[in-house]
């Protein structure tokens, strides 16, 4: 699975949009981009995933560049409860569905 690069930390004001970038320049054609987050001391939580089209669900939006070498997770109206480590993961799935977590981005939402 391709490797991802994320900034170690970011800050965001409460109520504003949080835009979390991820680089995955070696992504291959059958690999999806997944985003998970981990709130302090809890297990990770799935947020969203995409292949090449932009995706939106009740939690977030995912914007993938046309060349698929980078993506941005958008939390449209960040709240204090969105403070967490966000992981961008590239995975091809297949028969085992292994996930390889990097160090992620610590997003701190400030009041």
Partner 1 sequence: DAGITQSPRYKITETGRQVTLMCHQTWSHSYMFWYRQDLGHGLRLIYYSAAADITDKGEVPDGYVVSRSKTENFPLTLESATRSQTSVYFCASKGRESSYNEQFFGPGTRLTVL
Give the interface with partner 1 as residue ranges (CB under 8 A): 32, 34, 41-46, 49, 87, 91, 93, 95-104
Closest approach of partner 1 to the CB of residue 24, in Å: 15
Cβ closest to partner 1, residue 77 vs residue 98: 98
Structure tokens at 100: 């390889």
Is 21 or 102 the residue whose CB approaches partner 1 more closely? 102
- Shortest spacing between CB 89 and partner 1, in angstroms: 8
Tell the smallest beta-carbon distance from residue 16 to partner 1 (Å): 27
Spatial separation of the C-alpha atoms in residues 49 and 40, rounded to whole Å: 22
Question: In the chain, which ranges are E strands?
Answer: 9-13, 18-23, 32-38, 45-50, 55-56, 61-64, 70-75, 84-91, 105-110
């Amino acid at each position: 699975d391709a490797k991802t690069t994320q900034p170690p930390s970011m800050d965001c004001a409460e109520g504003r949009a949080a835009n979390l970038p991820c680089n995955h320049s070696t992504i291959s054609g059958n690999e999806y981009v997944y985003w998970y987050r981990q709130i302090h001391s809890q297990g990770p939580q799935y947020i969203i995933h995409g292949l090449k089209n932009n995706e939106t669900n009740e939690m977030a939006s995912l914007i993938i560049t046309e060349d698929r070498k980078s993506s941005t997770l958008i939390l449209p109206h960040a709240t204090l409860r969105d403070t967490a480590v966000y992981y961008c993961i590239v995975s091809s799935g297949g028969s085992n569905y292994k996930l390889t977590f990097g160090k992620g981005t610590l997003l701190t939402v400030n009041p």
